[in-house]
Amino acid sequence: MIKRMYIENKIEVDNKLIDVKTEINIDKEVDIFEFYLSKLLNIKEITTKTEGLNYTTEEGFNLEFRSECQKIIVDIPKDIDSITVYYNGKVEGWHNDIKDDIVTLNFYSAWYPMFKSIEDEKAEKVVTLLGLEEFRVLKGERNQDKWIYKSQDLDCNIIAVKDWDILSSNINGLNLRVYSSTEKDKKHANYIINSFRNVIEFYTSKFQAKEVSKSNFNILINSSVKSGGYCREGLIVLSKLPENDDAMIDHFIGHEAAHLWAIGADINTWEDWLNETFAECMALTFIKEVYGEEKYDEYMEGIRERAQKYPQIKTRDGKRPEGVHAAGTYLFHELKVKFGEEVFIEIIKLFIKLDKKTTEKLLNSVRENINEEITIYIERGISE
């Protein structure tokens, strides 16, 4: 239903505020149009090209991953193919902040219109950023005093840095840049480049994963965030890194880099177990290769404990399960013990090759390319 969004975002760094105008292009006629925004944002008005529109808001919506939202319901006149929403306020969410040296705005704060449909959330977003003249916007293009950012990803992920250190390297034609701001993180940057190179080479060799297609790739170390990272096309964002623990950094890089291939399943439902399970399985296979069986077992023990605490994979209501990172990973660890390493690796290869990432598609592929016994084993593990 959503063709495109044109977003103009004036960022007031000193006041930690955003002032936004978003034009939403709609590709079919509707009477009622609904979208979601962070509850912290104040809607000033909603208009067509010629007149104001009536709308109502409802509070208390918790979309997966995102800060609490309000739902906006707009009455749409006939023959209207676009509406414009004006709003402002503060942002709040994981890996979201406005500081003197870094601005991070993304999916998790619901700073731009959100939709229930994954297809709508992947609609093209063309963003004009104002107020960041002294910043560098990752994956953005400068146009005089403005920055232009475009995305057809699930996430409209704005990262702007000011006076950060940039370490560059070329990895088999891939231009890699690592961004850091603290002295500790600057020391980590060289290690991260080598880790990323080793992980990518391992994945493309071991799992026959296609090489990273983007010519430019960014890794940002944001130490102001205590834990967790994420991967987007051409980008990995890391949180605070540990001191003197290369294996933990390699695991961190390994998991996030694996999401370059372990991606595509619906993140808003139980199907997200596919994304997280295969990313973790790939990362732990790398850890085992580099650090040996003992280190692998150490990580797996922690996963076993979490899987016992949150054993559910397929939920009755279809929602994303609490143990999405652990239960599936431990299921495949047990599968590897029972049926062997070769079967385990083959299943990862089959998942990577799927044109559409769903559990049903995976099971069909395992049934066709391996055997029925393995398929039944996975089906039982998912449902128990």
> What's the confidence (pLDDT) of residue 31?
77
Residues 349 and 326 in one domain: yes
In a domain, 265, yes or no: no
- The domain tally of the chain equals 3
Q: In which domain, by residue range, is 216 found?
A: 165-258
Residues 310 and 337 in one domain: yes
Instruction: Tell me the C-alpha distance between 374 and 335, whole Å.
Output: 8
Residues 152 and 169 in one domain: no
Residues 115 and 250 in one domain: no
Q: Token digits for 59? A: 């509070």
In a domain, 297, yes or no: yes
Query: What letter does residue 296 receive in the DSSP assignment?
Result: H
**What is residue 378's three-state secondary structure?**
helix
In a domain, 282, yes or no: yes
In a domain, 36, yes or no: yes
In a domain, 264, yes or no: no
CATH classification at residue 107: 2.60.40.1730
Residues 145 and 278 in one domain: no
Tokens 């130490």 belong to residue: 223
Please list the pLDDT of the chain residue by residue as tens digits (384 residues): 899 999 999 999 999 999 999 999 998 777 789 999 999 999 999 999 899 999 999 999 999 889 999 999 999 888 888 999 999 999 999 999 999 999 999 999 999 999 988 888 889 999 999 999 999 999 999 999 999 999 988 899 999 999 999 999 998 889 999 999 999 999 999 999 999 999 999 999 999 998 887 689 999 999 999 999 999 989 999 999 998 899 999 999 999 999 999 999 998 899 999 999 999 999 999 999 999 999 999 999 999 999 999 999 999 898 888 888 899 999 999 999 999 999 999 999 999 999 999 999 999 999 999 999 999 999 999 987
CATH classification at residue 241: 1.10.390.10
> What's the confidence (pLDDT) of residue 214?
67
Write down which residue in 217, 235, 258 finishes a domain. 258
**What is residue 167's three-state secondary structure?**
strand
Residues 8 and 133 in one domain: yes
Write down which residue in 196, 224, 258 finishes a domain. 258
In a domain, 266, yes or no: no
Q: Which residue type, as a one-letter code, is found at position 43? A: I
> What's the confidence (pLDDT) of residue 64?
87
> What's the confidence (pLDDT) of residue 162?
98
In a domain, 263, yes or no: no
Write down which residue in 139, 161, 183 finishes a domain. 161
Residues 6 and 154 in one domain: yes
**What is residue 263's three-state secondary structure?**
coil
Residues 145 and 170 in one domain: no
Instruction: Tell me the C-alpha distance between 336 and 372, whole Å.
Output: 16
Residues 324 and 352 in one domain: yes
Residues 21 and 130 in one domain: yes
Rg for the chain, CA atoms, rounded: 22
Of 62, 64, 67, 23, residue with least CA distance to 41: 67
Query: What letter does residue 67 receive in the DSSP assignment?
Result: P
Residues 7 and 104 in one domain: yes
Residues 340 and 370 in one domain: yes
